[in-house]
Amino acid sequence: MLTGICAAVVAIWFVCSCLNQFSWRVNKIINRYDTFHLNPRWTFFAPNPGSSDYHLVYRDADGAGQMGPWQELVVGNPRTLVASLWHPGKRAKKVVTDYSQALLAWDRESAEAEKRSILLTLPYLSLLNLAVSQPRSGSAKVRQFALVESYGFYRNEEPQMLMHSEVHSL
């Protein structure tokens, strides 16, 4: 009999957990009685999960002002089986993503008169630091970075450049 009661409790908990993944009125009733907050909601810290990736690319110019090709800043190491347990490189990828989103939000929300002040924001300076810290050729005098958005493996859309920085001396 105890096994049946335990199975019923687990089954009810499973059904309530499944229902809680959607925004329905019944969730308010279920959560009202969830005193110990045992009913999970897997939104991964956001109501709308990300559907694109941000990439930091940079290019150099020589003394004559000739700009080189864009190169992607590779953040983190390739994923391995061990990375499912220990992957500190994911923090660097998250920094690029978070600072890219913050920088793009600043660019969208600020007035034209404030656009130049973007050069003094923490996201801009941090991404600039990442770009400038990459190896360079001996003839490079200046560096520029850009943010590119891509949409995953199965989308047909081409990556698009969202913004590019000023040209900075090295």
Average pLDDT over residues 20-35: 79
Question: Where along the chain do its domains lie?
Answer: 1-46, 53-169
The per-residue pLDDT for range 54-86, each reduced to its tens digit, is: 889 999 988 787 888 999 988 766 777 877 777
The per-residue pLDDT for range 132-148, each reduced to its tens digit, is: 988 888 888 899 999 99
Residue 45 — pLDDT band, cuts 50, 70, 90?
Answer: low
Task: Reply yes or no on whether the pLDDT at 14 is more than 80.
Answer: yes
For the chain, the average pLDDT equals 82
Task: Reply yes or no on whether the pLDDT at 44 is more than 60.
Answer: no
Name the 3-class secondary structure at 150: strand
The per-residue pLDDT for range 98-109, each reduced to its tens digit, is: 888 888 887 777
Partners of 169 in beta bridges: 142
- State the Cα angle at 14 between 11 and 17, rounded to 5°: 150
pLDDT of residue 6: 93
Q: What are phi and psi of 137, to 5 degrees?
A: -75, 165
- State the Cα angle at 71 between 70 and 73, rounded to 5°: 135
Dmax over Cα atoms in the chain, in whole Å?
85
CA 65 to chain centre: 33
In the chain, what percentage of residues exceed pLDDT 70? 88
Ranking 21-25, 55-59, 121-125, 139-143 by mean pLDDT, the lowest is 21-25
Q: Which residues contact 130 (CB under 8 A, 6 or more apart)?
A: 56, 73, 96, 145
Question: Smallest Cα–Cα separation from 60: which of 161, 131, 160?
Answer: 131
Average pLDDT over residues 88-111: 80
